[in-house]
Amino acid sequence: FIDYANENGLAGDLTLELEIADDQYSPDLTPGAVTTLIDSGVHIFSGIIGSPNNLAVRDTLNDNCIPQLLSLTGAPDWGEVADYPWTTGGLIPYPVESRAYATKMAADHPDGATVGLFYVNNEFGQVYAEAFTELTDEFGLEIVAEETIEATDSNPPTAQITSIASEQ
């Protein structure tokens, strides 16, 4: 898209350049990667993945009036325009997405349904699980099993899925 935008003048007289830095999805590495890019002349950041990673650089980018666009996180932290005018979220907030799932389940099972929650054991997963759990009474859903996986675990979640399936 960058090539297309430049070839078709989508940014007027500006030439867009894409630079990528890998923070290995570690919020401890994100500030260094962002600082290196700022030092090399980057003027806009987009697509930083993860709530902790985006939070690790939000103050720096806002203090320097550098846009932090389309943060790839649905955490509810990305709508604080008064405090962080240079930051925008890029995903549907996790509580809104949880409501969509609960709404669909209730529509498919109007007499109520049992649910097994399976989520990543980090802030991302916790927000989803908490938001969904808060909706169960409203939508006639009952959580009968809850399992997690670590974000760093690359093994198939066989035990977790077996545990959830045994609750049927």
Question: In angstroms, how far is CA 62 from the centroid of its own chain?
Answer: 19
C-alpha dihedral sign at 46, 60, 33, 38? positive
Residue 162 in this model has a pLDDT that exceeds 80: yes
| Confidence at 118, pLDDT banded by 50, 70, 90 | very high
pLDDT at 64: 96
pLDDT at 79: 79
Three-state DSSP at 5 gives helix
pLDDT at 122: 87
pLDDT at 152: 85
Residue 100 in this model has a pLDDT that exceeds 80: yes
Strand partners, 89: 71
d(CA 92, CA 142): 24
Residue 80 in this model has a pLDDT that exceeds 90: no
pLDDT at 94: 87
Average pLDDT over residues 32-48: 95
A 10 A CB-CB count for 35 gives: 13
pLDDT at 104: 97
Instruction: Provide the 8-state DSSP code for 77.
Output: G
Instruction: Provide the 8-state DSSP code for 146.
Output: E
Q: Where are the alpha helices (DSSP H) in 14-115?
A: 30-39, 51-63, 94-108
> Across the chain, what does the average pLDDT equal?
93
| Ramachandran angles phi, psi of 69, nearest 5° | -95, 145
End-to-end, the C-alpha distance of the chain in Å comes to 47
d(CA 94, CA 127): 7
| Confidence at 97, pLDDT banded by 50, 70, 90 | very high
| Confidence at 58, pLDDT banded by 50, 70, 90 | very high
Contact indicator for 25, 48 with CB cutoff of 8 Å: no
| Confidence at 123, pLDDT banded by 50, 70, 90 | confident
d(CA 43, CA 55): 18
Range among 28-37, 75-84, 123-132, 147-156 rated most confident = 28-37
Residue 147 in this model has a pLDDT that exceeds 90: yes
